[in-house]
């Protein structure tokens, strides 16, 4: 890992002393890498919630399926986990892995957490449960995991939770941390915010990366790259790989920017679809033109978006 010593130390400390940690930052800034490095060599259950980004809703059975996949990984490291999980109603341990019932006998989220906590306690370790891009859990329908998380926070002392999120507002909306009627209200959340690298560090990152490959690159190329891609480490890495494989030409910087734009547009469109209102397209248009204050955005919206249009499901 380049840089990030402080964030790494903060995350490790938080995992060992608090039960809920949020790792926040824009796309490609390094959230998943930080969490994976911090929990390397620790018992960990990693849930990739990003995979539900394009879904309009998630069922509990789909969440269980993601959990099953990750627990299969986990039980291959922890022999005791088989025994603890096998005792839960609706869980079968087979030779090739775990099976969850999907009928009314399916296991509750709390019962799975309880079993994992007992297992971690028995092994004298702390188990980290990671929800990567947890804001997508906003789409969970017909089931809520917040009471189980609150129960775990209060009672299951061998578990630690890490939630990463690139859409911070949606993550807060899911966790309802400022809502006094939320099951999680009043619990302590440690927040680790990943910022892009400073300009100097971004230049240093590229320089060192190319050096490691025995390639010398002009300072002009490096500055142009950072002008366009800023200190977002994922895009700098992408540029590095592309240039090593293809060519050292400023046109590659433009190609990487286009790739990054495609991801951002896609993500924004998914967001608009999920929110089911066109107003965010208009808000972005207002801000994108020349920047706008809150009241200007509001006026712009009132002029541009009729009440009927507010619920049009499109991102054209």
Ligand X SMILES: Nc1ncnc2c1ncn2[C@@H]1O[C@H](COP(=O)(O)OP(=O)(O)OP(=O)(O)O)[C@@H](O)[C@H]1O
22 binds, among ligand X, Mg ion, none (CB under 5 to 8 A by kind): none
Spatial separation of the C-alpha atoms in residues 151 and 44, rounded to whole Å: 19
Task: Yes or no: say if 159 and 116 are a contact pair by the CB < 8 Å rule.
Answer: yes
Among 28, 44, 167, 278, binds ligand X (CB under 6 A): 28
Only segment of 20-28, 85-93, 104-112, 215-223 that touches ligand X (CB under 6 A): 20-28
Task: Yes or no: say if 271 and 167 are a contact pair by the CB < 8 Å rule.
Answer: yes
Among 237, 270, 277, 309, binds ligand X (CB under 6 A): 237
Q: What is the DSSP secondary structure assignment for residue 197, as one 8-state letter?
A: P
3-state class of 54 per DSSP? coil
* Encoded tokens for 197: 């690298």
Q: Does 32 bind Mg ion (CB under 5 A)?
A: yes
Q: Name the minimum Å distance from CB 184 to ligand X.
A: 23
Q: Does 39 bind Mg ion (CB under 5 A)?
A: no
Q: Does 39 bind ligand X (CB under 6 A)?
A: no
Q: Does 270 bind ligand X (CB under 6 A)?
A: no
Only segment of 21-29, 70-78, 107-115, 150-158 that touches ligand X (CB under 6 A): 21-29
Q: Does 151 bind ligand X (CB under 6 A)?
A: no
1 binds, among ligand X, Mg ion, none (CB under 5 to 8 A by kind): ligand X
Place of tokens 């790259």: 225
Q: Name the minimum Å distance from CB 256 to ligand X.
A: 12
> How many other β-carbons are positioned within 10 Å of the β-carbon of residue 186?
10
Q: Does 1 bind ligand X (CB under 6 A)?
A: yes
* Residue 230 backbone class (left: φ over 0; alpha: ψ -120 to 50; beta: rest): left
* Encoded tokens for 256: 């990487």
Nearer to ligand X, 93 or 236 (CB): 236
Q: Name the minimum Å distance from CB 209 to ligand X.
A: 8
Closest to 272 (Cα-Cα) out of 140, 132, 143, 167: 167
Closest to 35 (Cα-Cα) out of 74, 4, 61: 4
Q: Does 166 bind ligand X (CB under 6 A)?
A: yes
Q: Does 4 bind ligand X (CB under 6 A)?
A: yes
Task: Yes or no: say if 107 and 84 are a contact pair by the CB < 8 Å rule.
Answer: no
Q: Name the minimum Å distance from CB 265 to ligand X.
A: 14
Task: Yes or no: say if 27 and 194 are a contact pair by the CB < 8 Å rule.
Answer: no
Q: Name the minimum Å distance from CB 217 to ligand X.
A: 17
Give contact residues for ligand X (rule: CB under 6 A).
1-4, 25, 27-33, 166, 233-234, 237
């Amino acid at each position: 890992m380049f840089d990030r010593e402080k964030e790494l130390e903060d995350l490790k400390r938080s995992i060992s002393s608090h039960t809920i940690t949020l790792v926040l930052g824009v796309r490609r800034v390094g959230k998943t890498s930080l969490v994976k490095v911090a929990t390397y060599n620790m018992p960990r259950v990693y849930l990739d919630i990003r995979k539900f980004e394009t879904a309009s809703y998630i069922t509990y059975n789909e969440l269980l399926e993601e959990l099953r996949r990750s627990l299969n990984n986990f039980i291959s490291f922890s022999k005791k986990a088989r025994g603890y999980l096998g005792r839960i109603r609706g869980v079968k341990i087979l030779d090739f892995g775990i099976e969850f019932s999907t009928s009314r006998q399916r296991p509750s989220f709390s019962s799975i957490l309880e079993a994992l906590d007992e297992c971690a306690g028995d092994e004298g370790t702390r188990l980290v449960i990671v929800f990567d891009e947890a804001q997508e859990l906003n789409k969970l329908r017909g089931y809520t995991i917040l009471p189980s998380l609150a129960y775990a926070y209060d009672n299951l002392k061998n578990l630690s939770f890490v939630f990463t999120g690139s859409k911070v507002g949606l993550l807060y909306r899911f966790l309802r941390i400022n809502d006094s009627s939320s099951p999680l209200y009043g619990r302590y959340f440690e927040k680790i915010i990943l910022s892009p690298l400073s300009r100097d560090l971004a230049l240093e990152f590229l320089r060192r990366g190319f050096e490691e490959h025995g390639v010398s690159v002009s300072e002009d190329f490096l500055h142009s790259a950072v002008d366009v891609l800023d200190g977002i480490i994922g895009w700098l890495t992408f540029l590095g790989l592309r240039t090593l494989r293809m060519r050292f030409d400023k046109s590659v910087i433009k190609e990487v920017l286009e790739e990054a734009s495609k991801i951002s547009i896609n993500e924004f469109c998914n967001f608009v679809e999920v929110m089911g209102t066109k107003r965010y397209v208009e808000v972005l248009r207002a801000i994108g033109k020349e920047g706008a204050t809150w009241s200007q955005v509001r006026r712009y919206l009132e002029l541009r978006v009729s009440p009927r249009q507010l619920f049009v499901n499109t991102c054209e």
